[in-house]
């Protein structure tokens, strides 16, 4: 788990004031981090085009050119001259060592974008847009310095954006790299230090990046046990029966000792699932909303769901029902909600009488989940998206492993099933949500078929193959 920040300005100033590290020293280390990455991954002598902007991000690129000179075939392109004091100093030094400065985009094996970094808060001009379009058209391996040019400070995109294969960011991770819109432009994200360890550089944060090592898998390390030890998940099956069945299958696969489908009519479930017309007395966690429709009346929901102080996952159709959303006011209950943006818009309107459209939610994802978490600090929210955001008690956790293969009906039902399985086994709501979301993404990564061909069953089956 790594800390994530809105910006690094405060931490940079801390380096100047507390550690007596100059801006020059930080810049040398930023470039050194990029240089070490390039030397590790690309053969000596490869051609590299470094495109530098007018400010300190451009200066990082200029320093990189000097550090790689002679080991690589370096071409430095500075389309708009330089303006910052540090950029002018670094350009002077670079000229002294004989760097080849070019006046246009040239063919190369590697392109480094150092035009704009973190903190961009306005759209780029037409000249920059033209350069980015030309850079993106090249077949070279593309590396962004700090933040790809065209990603704004809030994670929105400019009229053109550099499409990086790898982003090497400086000092600490930035939220702008983890907006849904940025996901197709950042590539692999690597953080390099600035002359002191990350532990010394970073300050407190309310936002964290999840890693595979944060999965806490359910274990069965005792020999003398029985199914009751591992909990009992109850999954409510509504008008779209398949959604509930998928969720229940995922729950059973993820270790729930018993899994029961709560139904109103006779069904023929998979052989390992039970079904009942009422909530089983020994239920330890509930999942409801997946394909629910109008299947259960308010009296039934009150008796079997709302008045039960049992850990619960709310999903899908639950976000359109006032009665079920009243559960969010139960402060002593372990509660998880897993909306996608459209569903979040509905629950937000029901809870606050204020409308948010999907585009606004997508453009303000961090702000929205933070706002919700302050209103309902005891509830764990997972806002679905290319990067899933998990929030509880005003703390945000980013799951960066979202995959396009999940863009298919049933994936969300799998997630609900995985979460309820962990709740049933005694996990708290936050740990259950973090581990289930990571487990689902890990299962997807194990799928080796065509990207368009993955089914919910494939995710469920791969859950059994997860190793961390």
DSSP characters over 97-120: TT-EEESS----SEEEEES--TT-
Measure the CA angle with vertex 174, ends 169 and 175; round to 5°. Answer: 145
pTM for this prediction: 0.92
- What residues in the chain have per-residue pLDDT under 50? none
Question: Are 50 and 65 in contact, with CB atoms under 8 Å apart?
Answer: yes
Closest CA to 399 of 369, 357, 378: 369
Burial class (CB in 10 A: 0-12, 13-18, 19+), 11: middle
Give the integer Cα–Cα distance in Å for 45 and 39: 10
Computed on alpha carbons and rounded to an integer, the radius of gyration of the chain in Å comes to 25
pLDDT digits (tens, 9 = 90+) for 275-325: 787 899 999 999 999 988 888 888 888 999 999 999 999 999 999 999 999
Give the integer Cα–Cα distance in Å for 262 and 58: 61
Q: Which CATH number fits domain 213-463: 2.40.240.10, 3.40.190.10, 1.10.10.10, 3.40.1190.20?
A: 3.40.1190.20
pLDDT digits (tens, 9 = 90+) for 348-397: 999 999 999 999 999 999 999 999 999 999 999 999 999 999 999 999 99
pLDDT of res. 224: 65
DSSP 8-class letter at 408: S
Give the integer Cα–Cα distance in Å for 90 and 440: 47
Closest CA to 121 of 164, 151, 165: 151
Question: Are 49 and 99 in contact, with CB atoms under 8 Å apart?
Answer: no
Question: Are 465 and 443 in contact, with CB atoms under 8 Å apart?
Answer: yes
Give the integer Cα–Cα distance in Å for 129 and 151: 12
Token duo for residue 461: 């089956």
DSSP 114-137: ES--TT--S---HHHHHHHHHHHH
pLDDT of res. 298: 85
pLDDT of res. 388: 96
Give the integer Cα–Cα distance in Å for 409 and 401: 18
Main-chain phi, psi angles of 433, to 5 degrees: -70, -45
Main-chain phi, psi angles of 57, to 5 degrees: -65, -40
DSSP 219-279: ----SS--GGGG-EEEEE--SSHHHHHHHHHHHHHTT-SEEEEE-SS-----TT-EEESS-
Give the integer Cα–Cα distance in Å for 149 and 146: 9
Q: How far is CA 410 from the centre of its chain?
A: 20
pLDDT of res. 211: 96
Measure the CA angle with vertex 197, ends 191 and 203; round to 5°. Answer: 85
Strand partners, 379: 335
3-state helix, strand, coil in the chain (%, to 5): 40, 20, 40
pLDDT of res. 229: 67
Give the integer Cα–Cα distance in Å for 116 and 118: 7
Domain ranges across the chain: 2-204, 213-463
Measure the CA angle with vertex 384, ends 378 and 385; round to 5°. Answer: 140
List the CATH code of the domain at 2-204. Answer: 3.40.50.10260
Main-chain phi, psi angles of 52, to 5 degrees: -110, 140
Residue with tokens 């209103």: 375
Question: Are 1 and 210 in contact, with CB atoms under 8 Å apart?
Answer: yes
Give Cβ neighbours of residue 444 (< 8 Å, ≥ 6 apart). 401, 403, 405, 406, 454, 459, 462
Helix (H, G, I), strand (E, B) or coil at 144: strand
């Amino acid at each position: 788990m790594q800390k994530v920040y809105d910006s690094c300005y405060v931490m940079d100033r801390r380096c100047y004031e507390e550690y007596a590290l100059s801006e020059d020293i930080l810049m040398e280390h930023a470039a050194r981090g990029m240089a070490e990455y390039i030397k590790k991954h690309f053969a000596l002598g490869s051609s590299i085009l470094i495109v530098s902007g007018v400010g300190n991000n451009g200066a990082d690129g200029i320093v990189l050119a000097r550090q790689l000179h002679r080991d690589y075939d370096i071409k430095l392109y500075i389309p708009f001259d330089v303006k910052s004091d540090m950029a002018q100093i670094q350009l002077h030094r670079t000229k002294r060592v004989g760097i080849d400065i070019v006046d246009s985009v040239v063919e190369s094996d590697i392109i480094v974008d150092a035009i704009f970094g973190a903190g961009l808060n306005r759209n780029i001009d037409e000249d920059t847009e033209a350069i980015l379009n030309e850079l993106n058209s090249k077949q070279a391996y593309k590396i962004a310095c700090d933040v790809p040019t065209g990603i704004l400070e809030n994670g929105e995109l400019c009229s053109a954006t550099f499409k990086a294969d790898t982003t090497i960011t400086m000092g600490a991770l930035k939220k702008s790299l983890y907006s849904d819109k940025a996901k197709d432009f950042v590539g692999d994200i690597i953080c390099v230090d600035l002359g002191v360890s990350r532990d010394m550089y970073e300050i407190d944060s309310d936002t964290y990046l999840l890693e595979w090592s944060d999965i806490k898998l359910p274990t069965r390390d005792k020999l003398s046990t029985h199914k009751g030890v591992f909990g009992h998940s109850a999954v409510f099956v509504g008008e779209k029966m398949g959604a509930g069945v998928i969720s229940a299958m995922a729950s059973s696969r993820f270790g729930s000792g018993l899994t029961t489908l709560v139904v109103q009519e006779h069904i023929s479930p998979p052989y390992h699932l039970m079904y009942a017309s009422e909530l089983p007395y020994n239920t330890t966690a509930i999942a409801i909303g997946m394909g629910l429709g109008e299947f259960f009346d308010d009296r039934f929901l009150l008796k079997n769901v709302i008045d039960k102080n049992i850990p619960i996952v709310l999903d899908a159709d639950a976000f359109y029902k006032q009665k079920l959303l009243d559960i969010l006011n139960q402060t002593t209950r372990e509660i998880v909600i897993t909306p996608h943006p459209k569903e979040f818009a509905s629950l937000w309107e029901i809870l606050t009488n204020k409308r948010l459209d999907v585009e606004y939610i997508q453009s303000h994802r961090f702000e929205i989940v933070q706002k919700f978490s302050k209103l309902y600090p005891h509830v764990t929210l997972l806002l679905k998206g290319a990067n899933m955001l998990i929030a509880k008690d005003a703390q945000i956790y980013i799951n960066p492993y979202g995959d396009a293969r999940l863009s298919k009906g049933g994936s969300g039902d799998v997630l609900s099933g995985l979460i309820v399985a962990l709740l049933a086994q005694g996990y708290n709501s936050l740990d259950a949500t973090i581990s289930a979301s990571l487990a689902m993404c890990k299962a997807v990564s194990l799928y080796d078929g065509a990207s368009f061909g993955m089914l919910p069953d494939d995710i469920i089956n791969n859950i059994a193959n997860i190793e961390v």
